[in-house]
Every structure is written in structure tokens, then in C-alpha cells.
Amino acid sequence: MARGHGRILTSIWEDPDFLALDEKEQRLYLFLISQPNLNHAGLLDLTLRRWSRKARGLTSAELEKLLQRLEETHFVVMDDDTEELLIRSFVRNDGVWRMPKVMGAMVSGALEISSPRLQAALLAEMDRIPLDELNDEPTKYKGQDGPSIRQQVVIHISTLRKAFGTPDPDPSRRGSATPSKAPSGTPSDTPSQPPAEGGPKGSTRGRGRAPHAHSPAPAPAPTPAPAPNPVVVEVGEKTSGSSEPTPSSPDGDAPIDIDGFALTDSMRRWALDTFGPGLDIDYETAQFVDHFRAQCVRRPNWPAEWQKWIRRSAKYASERATRPQLRSVAGTGSRADTHTADDYTNSKVEDLFAS
């Protein structure tokens, strides 16, 4: 569900880091935290061409420069490969960490992150949540003691750490770690900065082709023909840059087959250790492969895309398990009169997992 408002702390106008930004950089930050599709983890899709249409005369190239400045000053973290942007201190500044139920929604939103760089940045933010400020008195539920607010938040953070494991913020191994300055306690305060990543990379969402320290270059895929030039359009038009079908090989293989994607033992262990035996990994992997064969699109990192699929599958399975059953008024008890909430949702695989 889209948000109806964005929360801006009045203290931001006393933050020396924010005041050091120029007018356009400040406006862009306020624009980002007021986006309707911003989730509780502070995650946004990186859609520069769409954003450039929100002000007369604004261009994708100018947005590119402004975002680079926000990243240099640690307000945001970006990944061109996965086309994701994280508002780094959003969980703390929006008060998400104070409310256990909202923290649960934050974990669900965080599981949407594909970028190891963004995962590492969000985990660093979890270390900076002032847990000692949370109430540690047991909560009451039906006359019995339950976990305190602090304990509930700690459980959510532990769940996130277990799901992410130890993300490598520099998959290409070409970055160099840069020590960060001491945190200032303001919206722009700086955690341990993830290693910079090398290599220029053009974006499929209309970003400029300036070199980026945050853009790892993926290993070249053995494709027989170059992919078509990316085209980004508004909703309702025919194509978009991130989902344009990639020409298949002469024998009809899809990109996922050409690139040689396969389920490895380490991937299977990761899924088992993270989500337990309740998730059918072979079934989900078969669904994943069938989906991308049908879509005939290429992803820069198939294992990361697979992990995203598995996280979403686990998320939907958990949501289905906690939804109450809905019964018809007649309520005869037959299958025709008894439905789960899933029967009223659009559960088509292509819709759930389409990028």
C-alpha cells in the first residue's frame, strides 16, 4: 500500500551535514523520503527518468549528479546493478525502530533488497539503533507476560541478520574500504562505510554514463548477441528498460540457460540455514527458472536474483500462514464455502515476482 505522507524531523534544519547541501540536493533528499513507494526499510527503486519528470527542466543527468552528492555525504546508498537506492538512516529517523510491528514490516521490506552493498549498509544501521532507549518491561497479553518492546525489536533485527548472513558489499573484489568519519548523531551521520566498488556502469533506467564508485561491473555473460538499447517508458506503454526481452540463441535457449544458471550446494545450504526446511527449494527453483525462461530476460547476477525469489517466497509463505480464514455467510463447512485469504489475492507467479 502506498504511503500517504513522509516524515520530516524539524531537527533536520539544525543538522550541519544537511545544511551543507545546496538547495537542489536538499530538495532531492526531501523528495526521496516522501515517495509513495518508499518501504519501511528505506528502499526505493532507482528510476531516474521517472523522477526527472517531477520538475520542469529536470534531467536524468542532473539527477545523477545530485544523487552522487547525496551518496558522497552518506545520505543514500545506491547500486546500479540492482537499480536500488537505500535512504540510509530512514529506519532510525522515521521512528520505525520504536514500534515492533513496524519493525516486522521493515524486515519484510528489507528482504526485497538484492544488493549486497545495500544489505551491508542496512545491517550497519541496525548496529546504531539505541536499543537501551526501548522499554524492557514485559508486555501483557491475555493476562500473561510477553516479550518486552526491546526484546521484540531485537528479535526482528536478529531475523534480518540471519536472512542477510554476511553480505559482501564488494562482490567484484575490486573495491577498497574507506574508514568513515565519526558519527554526528544527525540524519546524515555516517556508519562504517561499505567498500567502494569500481568500474563504470551504464544503467538500464536512464542514468548517465559517468563512472560510479558504487557500481560493480558484473562478469560478462556469454551472450551470442548484444541486448537491445534500453528503453524506459511510463506505466501503460509497451516496454521498459529493465524488462525488455533479450534475444535468445539460435537454438531457442533463454538467457538463464545461456548463462548456465544452476542450483549449487552452497545456495541450497543458504536457503536451509536461513528459512529452514519448510520451503521447497527444488520447487521454488523450478518456478524461478520457468519464469525467466518464459520472460526471456537477462539478469546481471542470477544467484542474487534467485536469493531474491527465495526471500519473497518465504515472505509470502509466512504471510499466508498468518492470514485468518474467511468463511462465507452460509458456512456449510465444504471447500466451496471455505476460502483462505489467498483465494482473494492475485497470486500469479509472474505478477508476484516480476521486476
Give tens-digit pLDDT for 8-23. 889 999 999 999 999 9
The pLDDT assigned to 110 comes to: 92
Nearest CA-CA partner of 157 in 270, 41, 271? 41
Q: How far is CA 2 from CA 5, 6, 26, 39, 186, in A?
A: 9, 11, 23, 9, 27
Please give the single-letter amino acid code of residue 85. L
What is the three-class DSSP state of 125? helix
Q: Which residues contact 283 (CB under 8 A, 6 or more apart)?
A: none
Q: Which residues contact 167 (CB under 8 A, 6 or more apart)?
A: 116, 117, 119, 120, 123
**pLDDT higher at 37 or 218:** 37
> Which triple of cell numbers denotes residue 244?
525488455
The pLDDT assigned to 52 comes to: 93
> Which triple of cell numbers denotes residue 12?
533536520
For the segment 20-36, the average pLDDT, to the nearest whole number, is 95
- Give CA–CA dist 167/116, Å, rounded: 5
Please give the single-letter amino acid code of residue 294. A
In degrees, rounded to 5, the angle at the alpha carbon of residue 63 between the alpha carbons of residues 72 and 229 is: 115
Is the model's pLDDT at 100 over the cut of 60? yes
For the chain, give every domain's residue range. Answer: 10-164, 255-353
Give tens-digit pLDDT for 298-345. 888 888 888 888 988 888 777 776 666 555 454 444 444 434 444 434
Please give the single-letter amino acid code of residue 153. V
The pLDDT assigned to 115 comes to: 92
- Give CA–CA dist 1/87, Å, rounded: 19
The pLDDT assigned to 203 comes to: 44
Q: What is the mean pLDDT of the chain?
A: 74
Is the model's pLDDT at 204 over the cut of 60? no
Q: How far is CA 246 from CA 225, 242, 258, in A?
A: 9, 10, 11
Measured in whole angstroms, the distance separating CA 282 from the mean position of its chain's CA atoms is 24
For the segment 210-226, the average pLDDT, to the nearest whole number, is 42
Residue 317: Cβ-neighbour burial (10 angstroms; 0-12, 13-18, 19+): middle
Would you say the C-alpha torsion 55, 61, 62, 64 has a positive or negative sign? positive
Q: Provide the CB-side half-sphere exposure for 19 (13 A, CA).
A: 8
**pLDDT higher at 325 or 108:** 108
- Cβ neighbours around 48 below 10 Å, total: 23
Nearest CA-CA partner of 20 in 150, 187, 179? 187
- Give CA–CA dist 345/183, Å, rounded: 44
Task: Please report the beta strands in 47-199, taking only residues with DSSP state E, as ranges in sequence order.
Answer: 76-79, 84-87, 139-141, 144-146
Q: What is the CA radius of gyration of the chain?
A: 22
